[in-house]
């Protein structure tokens, strides 16, 4: 399993400033991958609600006003997905592999996959959302591997946790 030899939070930054190569771990790669995936999927409805609905099906959250620009629920979810994306990408850029950022990544994927599966099953949203559920499932499997590797590395060196 990929792990880093840098033991304290400041070591990665110091090594980077000194010109040393900081290894990219599975954890960091997943932060980049999930962050970019969330960036694209979160920005999409904000940039073009029309193309988003063409793929995912019509939404009803604008029916109160009747204005197509009033998709308040879609926009709220998109903004929250973007907030998670920015957090994951910032952690990836800084090569911060904390348990807290992993919890955010895993919890977001579990929540989105759960919503996808439940509401496709109920017939509330289009089956295309199962593609997202599959992507979230792949991310969750990869996170399981990365976190097992991180836990093993920390157990092997308990006085020097990898952050």
Residue 3 has pLDDT above 70, yes or no: no
> How far is the C-alpha of 105 from the C-alpha of 88, rounded, in Å?
7
User: Residues 57-73, buried b or exposed e (16+ Cβ, 10 A)?
Assistant: eebeebeeeeeeeebee
pLDDT at 77: 97
Residue 124 has pLDDT above 60, yes or no: yes
Categorize the per-residue pLDDT at 52 as very low, low, confident or very high, splitting at 50, 70 and 90: very high
pLDDT at 1: 43
Categorize the per-residue pLDDT at 129 as very low, low, confident or very high, splitting at 50, 70 and 90: very high
pLDDT at 159: 65
Between 1 and 103, the higher pLDDT residue: 103
**What is the overall mean pLDDT for the chain?**
87
């Amino acid at each position: 399993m990929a792990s880093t030899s840098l033991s304290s939070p400041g070591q990665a930054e110091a090594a980077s400033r000194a010109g040393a190569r900081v290894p990219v771990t599975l954890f960091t790669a997943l932060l980049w991958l999930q962050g970019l995936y969330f960036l694209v999927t979160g920005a999409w409805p904000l940039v073009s609600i029309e193309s988003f609905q063409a793929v995912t099906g019509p939404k009803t959250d604008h029916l109160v006003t009747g204005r197509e620009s009033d998709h308040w629920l879609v926009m709220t979810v998109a903004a929250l997905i973007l907030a998670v994306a920015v957090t994951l990408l910032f952690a990836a850029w800084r090569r911060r592999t904390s348990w807290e950022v992993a919890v955010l990544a895993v919890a977001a994927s579990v929540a989105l996959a759960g919503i996808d599966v439940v509401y496709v099953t109920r017939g509330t949203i289009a089956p295309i959302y199962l593609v997202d559920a599959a992507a979230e499932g792949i991310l969750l499997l990869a996170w399981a591997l990365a976190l097992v590797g991180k836990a093993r590395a920390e157990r092997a060196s308990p006085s020097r946790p990898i952050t």
